[in-house]
Amino acid sequence: MRIDHPVAQDTAPWRPGARRRRLRACHECDLLVALPPLRPHQRANCPRCGHTLSHRHARPAQRSLALAITALIALIASMSFPFIRFEARGVSNAIQLTDTAISLVDFHEPFVGILVLLTIVVLPVFYLLSVIWLQIGLLRRRPLPRSRRIARALVQLSPWMMADVFVIGALVSLIKIAGMASVDLGLSFWSFCAFALLLLWTSRSLDIDWMWFSLAGEPPAPEHCRLGEPAAAQGVTGCPTCGLVNRLSHFGRGRCARCGERLRFRNAHSLQRTWALLLAAVIFYIPANLYPIMTTTSLGSETPSTIIGGVLIFISHGDWPIALIIFTASVVVPIGKILALAWLCFVVRKRGQLNYRHKRLKLYRITEFIGRWSMIDVFVVAILVSLVHAGSLLAITPGPAALAFSSVVIITMLAAITFDARLIWDTRDVQPHMPAALKRQSPYSPVKEADDV
């Protein structure tokens, strides 16, 4: 199936009496554009940075509803049968999906256990039920109660659902214990794999632009907007939840006229908060590597294993692909994300050419996407701890590094969310014309700007 990519209109000036609808401010570069008419399977991209502004689907309500119901059924099935079964030295054990979180709580790691349960069960269930609730109301052409609040929550939930990461963690766990035990995959494992795939399809099937238009219509855009220019320089901003362009007060604050979301020209103290979160991530990353992430007990002998130690064990056994996955997810990704965000916070104050900005934006998109995959190591620990516990004969217990490393993952994800990508484009386009309120929120000093080397 061919998918067209219309480019949003960015050159037409504002004409008195023109229809003030379908304006969007790009969430990544703040360019004010007009959405073109879209047919099914088409999307509109920002003409400056390429960010997808709207993606139209055929029968969006029916499509999302069917996928959400199917995904929910698959999750119920994955919680109703054995997940993994293993047998070693005459001792056998079988676990269910929720045991991966319960076992961590039993070993005095409640934060990690709750985190695992939230990311693989609780948040996906809430997300799917929300999608079902919204789409039923849209099919009835009469939204159900609290639909707007639920629709606002959907945007915030997407980064924190990690069923697909958990599947990769389960596969790594199976390879890790395959040499010491006989492993059987239960029906729940295959159901959860189907659930992870269906959850991904459900999130991608949501037509946010169409959904908000069906829920609350689209109020007219503010008057005297000029297309092809930064929105903040005109005293307007796009809602990060529903996309509606709103005019803010002189103080640079307001609420979206359609969904009620709090709005600012830029995320308040974006760089300061990002720096603080990165510093906290560095602090937690030190004990995450110094202390063992898990301890293996075999015939009464305890062997602690750090993150790097686990990678070396896989290498010694000849499992180079698994060692590469663990090393990438647990070492390369966290360090790379911290360094990338720190570099962006530093260079965002400098004025650069257009190609530099595109490169910086691509780097930000990569760091935002890969951050959640560091949870693989945490999920490996959760599965092994719940599966392998046969007393002094053979057992795996979580180490103190599990909590520290989980904190690193969460903090770096928050740092990526806190960083406002629009700041990358502000130094030349907005600073000379920004309102007084935006100047107070901006980290830039026009006198001290320097060109990139």
φ/ψ bin of 269: left (φ > 0), alpha (ψ from -120 to 50), beta (otherwise): left
Alpha-carbon span 117 to 294, nearest angstrom: 19
Element (H, E) at 244: none
- CA distances (Å), origin 6, targets 52, 372, 424: 10, 31, 24
- CA distances (Å), origin 151, targets 162, 259, 280: 20, 9, 32
Alpha-carbon span 398 to 101, nearest angstrom: 12
Average pLDDT over residues 157-186: 84
Number of domains composing the chain: 2
Tokens in use for 260?
């009620």
Question: Helices (H) and strands (E) in the chain — how many of each?
Answer: 17, 15
What three-state secondary structure class fits 77?
helix
34 shares a domain with 174:
no
What count of residues does the chain have? 453
175 shares a domain with 117:
yes
Q: 436 with 250: CB under 8 angstroms?
A: yes
295 shares a domain with 352:
yes
Three-class secondary structure assignment of 176-198 = HHCCCCEEEECHHHHHHHHHHHH
Q: 223 with 75: CB under 8 angstroms?
A: no
Alpha-carbon span 368 to 389, nearest angstrom: 36
Alpha-carbon span 266 to 251, nearest angstrom: 12
Tell the residue number behind the tokens 């990438």, with chain if given. Answer: 328
162 shares a domain with 148:
yes
| Domain-embedded: residue 322 | yes
Pairing relationship of beta strands 84-88 and 91-95 according to DSSP bridges:
antiparallel
Quote the pLDDT of residue 410: 94
| Domain-embedded: residue 428 | no
Alpha-carbon span 407 to 400, nearest angstrom: 12
Q: How confident is the model at residue 337 (pLDDT cuts 50, 70, 90)?
A: very high
Q: pLDDT tens-digit profile of 345-377?
A: 988 877 656 667 888 889 999 998 888 888 998
Average pLDDT over residues 67-93: 86
Quote the pLDDT of residue 201: 94
Q: 374 with 409: CB under 8 angstroms?
A: yes
| Domain-embedded: residue 410 | yes
Q: How confident is the model at residue 82 (pLDDT cuts 50, 70, 90)?
A: confident
Tokens in use for 137?
């109301």
42 shares a domain with 183:
no
Give the helix ranges, DSSP H, for 250-352.
270-290, 307-316, 320-327, 333-347
CA 218 to chain centre: 27
| Domain-embedded: residue 317 | yes
The answer to whether residue 233 scores a pLDDT higher than 90 is no
- Contacts of 112-115 spanning 24+ positions with Cβ under 8 A: 112/378, 112/381, 112/382, 112/398, 112/402, 112/403, 112/406, 113/382, 115/378, 115/406, 115/410
Q: pLDDT tens-digit profile of 381-402?
A: 888 888 877 555 677 888 899 9
| Domain-embedded: residue 274 | yes
Quote the pLDDT of residue 2: 36
Average pLDDT over residues 143-156: 89
Across 161-175, 236-250, 324-338, 418-432, least confident range:
418-432
Q: How confident is the model at residue 449 (pLDDT cuts 50, 70, 90)?
A: very low
The answer to whether residue 314 scores a pLDDT higher than 70 is yes
89 shares a domain with 7:
no
108 shares a domain with 161:
yes
Quote the pLDDT of residue 6: 57
Alpha-carbon span 217 to 219, nearest angstrom: 7
202 shares a domain with 222:
no
What three-state secondary structure class fits 255?
strand
Across 29-38, 247-256, 323-332, least confident range:
247-256
123 shares a domain with 196:
yes
Domain that holds residue 139: 60-209+270-421
Across 297-301, 325-329, 432-436, least confident range:
432-436
| Domain-embedded: residue 412 | yes
Alpha-carbon span 345 to 210, nearest angstrom: 34
The answer to whether residue 436 scores a pLDDT higher than 80 is no
Pairing relationship of beta strands 394-398 and 389-390 according to DSSP bridges:
antiparallel
Pairing relationship of beta strands 43-45 and 52-55 according to DSSP bridges:
antiparallel
Across 28-32, 206-210, 220-224, 313-317, least confident range:
313-317
26 shares a domain with 111:
no
Quote the pLDDT of residue 11: 45
φ, ψ of residue 288 in degrees (nearest 5): -65, -25
| Domain-embedded: residue 446 | no
Quote the pLDDT of residue 12: 43
What is the sign, positive or negative, of the torsion defined by CA atoms of 294, 297, 298, 301?
Answer: positive
237 shares a domain with 88:
no
What is the sign, positive or negative, of the torsion defined by CA atoms of 157, 158, 162, 163?
Answer: positive
| Domain-embedded: residue 264 | no
Tokens in use for 222?
């503010």
Average pLDDT over residues 212-221: 87
Alpha-carbon span 199 to 67, nearest angstrom: 8
Q: pLDDT tens-digit profile of 273-303?
A: 999 999 999 999 999 999 998 887 766 677 7
352 shares a domain with 334:
yes
